[in-house]
Amino acid sequence: MGGYFSEIFYGSKSLLIGMGITFREFFKPTVTVQYPYQTIKMSAKFRGHTELIADEEGKPKCGVCGLCERACPSSCITLGSISVDIEVDGKVKKKKVLSKYELDFTKCSLCGQCVENCSFGALEFSKEYNLASTRKEDFHFNLLKRLEERNA
């Protein structure tokens, strides 16, 4: 019989503590954001999908080494390159130039291996968070095209 009354006592005590917390929070100002009319600023550590970084001339810093593609555990990065002849000190040299950089964000696990392994510092995380869609194709990004649109 003593266990019955102790359970009632501890249950009532728990109820009063919970009601006290509710009563205190009831008078505090609300923190609700009326999305999409209001938005909050994303923190500096927010990690969205990857983006290419441009150099001083507005071209991608990417040297097409393929480290990001090999480091990706989800195999969501596809690179393409073309060879271009450039003249340096009177000599003609071949240089690889980025022609395609595609990201399949439906597979991406946001692990950050591509950004960490990039030896050219050509990748960063975007701050874009509003990526809602019902179409799978909307999550296939051509990062080279996005970089050109940003710099235009």
Per domain, the residue ranges of the chain are 1-31, 50-151
Q: What is the pLDDT of residue 32?
A: 87
Whole-model pTM: value is 0.72
Q: Which CATH number describes the domain made up of 50-151?
A: 3.30.70.3270
pLDDT in tens, the chain (152 residues): 668 888 999 999 999 999 999 999 999 988 888 888 988 888 888 999 999 999 998 899 999 999 999 999 999 999 999 998 888 888 888 889 999 999 999 999 999 999 999 999 999 999 888 888 999 999 999 999 999 998 87
For residue 34, what are the contacts with CB-CB under 8 A and spacing of at least 6? Answer: none
Q: What gap in Å lies between CA 35 and CA 151, rounded to an integer?
A: 29
Quote the distance between the C-alpha of residue 137 and its chain's center: 18
Two tokens, residue 103: 């990201």
Query: What is the per-residue pLDDT for 30?
Result: 82
Q: Which two tokens stand for residue 138?
A: 């909307």
What pLDDT, on a 0 to 100 scale, did the predictor assign at position 103?
96
